[in-house]
Every structure is written in C-alpha cells, then in structure tokens.
Amino acid sequence: MNLRNVSTPSMKSHRHLGGGWPALALAGVLAASMSTAWSQGATSGGSGSGTSSSGQGAPVTQSGARAASEKSRIVRWDRKFMEEAASAGQMQVQAAQMAANRGADKAVKDYAATLIEQQSSANSELAQLASSLGIELPSSLPRSMRNEVEKLAKRSGAEFDREFVREIGIKQHEQEIKRFEKASKDAKEPQLRAWVDKTLPMLQQHLAAAQKLPQAGSEAAASTRTQQQRMGAGAGAGDKQGNQTNPGTGGGSMAPYGR
C-alpha cells in the first residue's frame, strides 16, 4: 500500500477543517457554560429562597413606580397654586418697589417698604419649596399681571398712591387671601400647607394695613368716622369729669345744648 495515498486524505481532512478543533473546543466551553447557568437558574427557581429573591424584584420596582406616580400626582395638584402664588408675590414686590420710589404719601411709601421686605421673604421660601419638589416656578409675570404693573407705572403723585393702595394693597390681597384659605384645606403636599399657613397671616396683615390708609377710599372714610367718634367720646369723658369736679353746676356742659 502506498503510504502517501493513505496519509494524504487525513492530512487533507485536517487542512480542510482549517483549525476546526480549536473552534469545536470553544463551542464546547460555551455549551458547558450555558448548561451550568441554566442549571443554576433552574435550581434557584425551584428553591424557596430563589423564588423569594426573584419575586422581590418586581414588587419593589412596582412599589417605586407607584410612589413616583403618587408624588407626581400630588405635585401636579399643587403646581397651579404654587405658580399662581409665585406670580402674585412677584407682582406685589414689583408694584411695591415702584411705590417706595414714586409714592407721594409717606404712609404709602412705608407700607410699600414693609410689603417688599416681607413678601420677598415669602417668595424666597416658596422658591426653595418648589425646588425641593422639582417644580420650576415662572420667572416672569403672566400677561394680565404685566398689564396691571404697566398701568400702575403710568400713574403719578396722589393718583399713583390711590391706584397702588386699592389695586395692590386691597384688591390683590383679597384675591390672594381667598386662594390661600382654599389651599390651606385642599393642598396635598404637607410642606406646601405649612408654608400657606405661615404666609396667610402676613397677607391678612398687609390687607388690614392697606385698608387703614387714606387712599383706600370708603375704608378710609370709615376709619375717619371711627376716629371722630373716639375723639367725641374723649370730649364727653372730659365733660363728665368736669361735672364731677363741679357738681353744683347742675349738668355743666349739657346746659348749652339745653338752651
């Protein structure tokens, strides 16, 4: 037998594989790894602890999703109020800054200075709260409020004072107080309710102070009448004291009215 003819097919077969043995070895290793992984998965799936571990993954994820959805719902419910409160606070500060610089009456300028200080502080607290809740507050006033500020800017002297006191000091604060009273009951976020309950008395004080200013109109007239009544009561008390001092006058100051 010709050995060359015998060996040649084997050698050709080996050449034909082109290094196939290493490839087959690699395939074997991969198959063994997959088999081991499958076995481990089946074992853990069959055991109580494996099922517990695998079962815990989905509920945790679902629970986290529910918590995120709940927080998002709460924030959306309160978002509108926070945005409106932020805009109103900015408007009040801008109007008060004009009044502090352009007001004709010292009482109005003093009121504006108090408004700037206290409302600016409340605005900063609201901005910090909104940031902690992931809410971006408006950086500029809505068109309606811009129009009000621009309208006020066209006034001057006593007319400016009157417009500022009535529109910002009274009307604007009355609207805000109603909104805050509703938010104190309806707001879902506890931190927001705490801020509302803290800020509401300040708004009420600002309204009461504005109503006492002469530029408030009818409120000023009522205040004037009250002051006159107090003065009259003081004069009456003085007359009474005089009558007690001179009991022999027979009525003292009442005599002229009797005539």
The predicted-structure confidence for 183-233, as pLDDT tens digits, reads as follows 999 999 999 999 999 999 999 999 999 999 999 985 444 544 455 455 555
Question: Dmax over Cα atoms in the chain, in whole Å?
Answer: 169
| Tokens (6 digits) for 100 | 């502090």
- Does 259 have pLDDT greater than 90? no
Q: Please compute, for residue 9, the number of CA atoms within 13 A of its CA located in the half-sphere on the CB side.
A: 3
Distance, C-alpha 2 to centroid of its chain = 99
Q: What is the pLDDT of residue 16?
A: 46
Distance CA(86)–CA(127), nearest Å, equals 8
| Tokens (6 digits) for 161 | 């004072």
User: pLDDT-based confidence at 21, cuts 50/70/90?
Assistant: very low
Percent of the chain past pLDDT 70, that is, above it, reads 55
User: Does CATH number 1.20.1260.10 belong to domain 69-216?
Assistant: yes
Q: Please compute, for residue 184, the number of CA atoms within 13 A of its CA located in the half-sphere on the CB side.
A: 12
Residue 127 contacts residue 137 (beta carbons within 8 Å): yes
Domain boundaries, the chain: 69-216
Q: What is the pLDDT of residue 8?
A: 47
* pTM higher than 0.75: no
R_g (Cα) of the chain, nearest Å: 42
Residue 81 contacts residue 179 (beta carbons within 8 Å): yes
- Does 145 have pLDDT greater than 50? yes
**Taken in order 209, 212, 218, 223, is the CA torsion positive or negative?**
positive
Of 17, 20, 40, 16, the closest CA to residue 28 belongs to 20
User: pLDDT-based confidence at 2, cuts 50/70/90?
Assistant: very low
Give the pLDDT confidence of 73-131 residue by residue, as tens digits: 556 778 999 999 999 999 999 999 999 999 999 999 999 999 999 999 999 999 999 99
Distances 91 to 17, 65, 141, 156, 184 between C-alpha atoms, Å: 84, 38, 7, 18, 22
Q: What is the pLDDT of residue 149?
A: 95
Distance CA(145)–CA(175), nearest Å, equals 13
Region 10-33: mean pLDDT is 48
The 3-state DSSP composition of the chain as helix, strand, coil percent (nearest 5) reads: 85, 0, 15
Q: Within a 10 A sphere around the Cβ of 42, how many other Cβ atoms? A: 11
Distance CA(232)–CA(242), nearest Å, equals 15
Cβ-count burial of 109 within 10 angstroms (0-12 exposed, 13-18 middle, 19+ buried)?
middle
Question: Greater confidence, 251 or 211?
Answer: 211
Distance CA(186)–CA(165), nearest Å, equals 30
Q: What is the pLDDT of residue 247?
A: 41
Q: What is the pLDDT of residue 47?
A: 44
Give the pLDDT confidence of 46-56 residue by residue, as tens digits: 444 444 444 44
- Does 30 have pLDDT greater than 70? no
